[in-house]
Structure 1
Amino acid sequence: MLKIVIIEDEAPARKKLKNYIEKTREPFEIIKEIETVDETQSFFQTHPDVDLVFSDIELRDGNVFDVYNEIEITAPIIFITAYDSFWMNAFESSGIEYLLKPYSYPRFEKAWLKYTFLKNKMKVNHNDLISKLDAYYQSKLDLKPIYKEYIPVKSNSGIYFLKVEDIIFIQSDYGVIFAYDSANKKHLLNQTSLKEIQEMLNPIVFFKINRSEFVNKVYIEKINRYTKNTVAINIKSHTLKTSQNNTAAFNSWMGLK
């Protein structure tokens, strides 16, 4: 019997997924349903015996890769998300498939059959499977995403284009998103979600330091410890702070450890 973990913070999405799993007629047991990043970390730190993981990416308290980048997950993961900007992260972890919401049963079945195929091949020839997976992942990594160089901004006088390289940080305030440029000018962006913004930005240059802010590495002037598990970032005339969940990943992104 397959031991399955579902990481998804939306109840209707979990229900749909369980219905699809039942349609495969494969014996299974859902040993854990998880809704948050913190719970994901606590669960996998115990090294549970898991055969397959279905995982959303953006959860209510952050990004699940904050966990996968720190803890080695040995079970294969089928990622299910509404965003297509995390496939590189998926294939750098234990990901074997990437389903975009909304997905149909035929698309789910294709991912399920891929898992079944890989599981059976693992029993037959472990080394051959590893070679094929490496080749598959490398082919994905060779596809370089294209990030925005300009963000169109509407104003009373028309539309102007804000250079992404001039943005020092981006901030969400109750669903309203602002970009601050190198001249310390504040721009009201048309987007209403930081997820939309994240898809536009090169993750080598921009990092989400907490639930509401992205910073541009180029303009960071100084970093100081703020609390035991957070840091303060001086950028131009602003001081921003990391969240506890994002601090370790931020330090790694900055090359501090």
Structure 2
Amino acid sequence: MKILIIEDEPRAARQLENLLHKTSFNYELLDVIDTVEDTVIWFKENSDPDLVFMDIQLADGLSFEIFQKIEIEAPIIFTTAFDQYAIQAFKVNSVDYLLKPVQQEDLETALNKFQKSNTNSNNLSSDVLKELLGSLQTPQERAGILVKEGNSFVQIRISELLYVYSQDSITFGVTNTKRYIIDETIDQLFNSLDQTKFYKINRGQIVSKFSIQKIDPYFNHRVKLVLSNPRDQEFIVSRQKTSDFKSWMNS
């Protein structure tokens, strides 16, 4: 069984590879790809794999954009950190998905389902894609967030967050006065935020629009941000996101 992984978080890709290795399924990993653009190129240059694991949020946009550019005949299992509300559309449309962080038992169930299925291609019609895309772009109200303070938990207002970053597998949120530990991954948190106010500038950082003081040009067509209370952090917008980030800032 030839497998392709489309995932922009290296840690999540490695975890999925490790889980696959623990299963009894014989497979060959063809490649790991992290952007919409590179996925389109890969499918144009290669034969379809037997199975694709596809993350929803990639480095340069939502993976559903891939289907607007090319046809993929291979079966797909989506991986997503979106919350239970958003993935209702997956259930309604009978689209296979795995909720992050992926668990061994869930992966094996999905693989067993794939092997027992007589379907040789995915069933993602344009209507299904629109339904999924619409559900994932639905604004979600979230006023507060639970954070660690010593041995206890306190709630802070989302409006207080200047930026969020991941370091050594720990998610930190920074306000004007303090840094907090957040018991969520970067993806889980970002998917619950108002994305007109917050932007994921790279794999490990989310910034608030209102914390950005200055935008400077940076090498390799990237930009560097100057934020309030930076706490020795550098904020570099990834090359794939620079154009979209500028549009977001203008909105």
TM-score by length of structure 1 reads 0.62
Higher relative contact order (CA 8 A, sep 6+): 2
Counterpart of 1:99 in structure 2 is: 98
**Alignment RMSD (CA, Å):** 4.4
Secondary structure at 1:116 match in 2 = coil
Counterpart of 2:19? 13
Q: 2:9 corresponds to which residue? A: none
Aligned residues: 224
Match of 1:227 among 216, 219, 224: 219
Bigger Cα Rg? 1
For residue 40 of structure 2, what is the amino acid of its counterpart? Answer: F
Flag structure 2 segments of 5+ consecutive residues without an equivalent.
6-12
Partner Cα separation in structure 2 for residue 6 and residue 207 of structure 1 = 28
Distance 1:57 1:178, change over 3 A: same
Tell me if structure 2 keeps the 8 A contact 1:5–1:50: no
| Structure 1 position 253, deviation (Å) | 4.0
Shift of 1:247: 3.0
Matches within 5 A, 1:58-97: 64=58, 66=60, 68=63, 72-75=69-72, 78-81=76-79, 83-85=81-83, 96-97=95-96
* Counterpart contact for 2:59–2:203, Cα < 8 Å: no
Partner of 2:134: 141
Q: For 1:1-257, list aligned pairs within 5 A.
A: 5-7=3-5, 8-9=13-14, 10-15=16-21, 19=25, 33-37=30-34, 41-42=37-38, 44-46=40-42, 47=44, 48-50=46-48, 53-57=51-55, 64=58, 66=60, 68=63, 72-75=69-72, 78-81=76-79, 83-85=81-83, 96-100=95-99, 101-102=102-103, 103=106, 107-108=110-111, 116=119, 130=125, 133-134=126-127, 137-138=130-131, 141-142=134-135, 144=138, 146-156=140-150, 159-181=153-175, 184-191=176-183, 193-236=185-228, 238=230, 240-254=235-249
- Equivalent pair of 1:78/1:111 in contact (CA under 8 Å): no
Following superposition, the deviation at residue 168 of structure 1 comes to 1.6
Pick closer, same or farther for the CA change 1:18–1:224 going to 2, 3 Å: farther
Q: Is the 8 A contact 1:44 1:73 kept in 2?
A: yes
How far did residue 175 of structure 1 move?
Answer: 3.8
DSSP-derived class of the 2:162 partner: strand
Is contact 2:4–2:49 with CA below 8 Å preserved after alignment?
no
8 Å contact kept, 2:149–2:181: no
Shift in Å at residue 231 of structure 1? 0.3
Q: What percentage of aligned pairs have identical amino acids?
A: 20
Instruction: Give TM-score, length-normalised by structure 2.
Output: 0.63
| SS state at 1:44 partner | helix
Shift of the 137–188 alpha-carbon distance from structure 1 to 2, 3 Å rule, reads: same
CA contact (8 A) 2:164 2:171 kept: yes
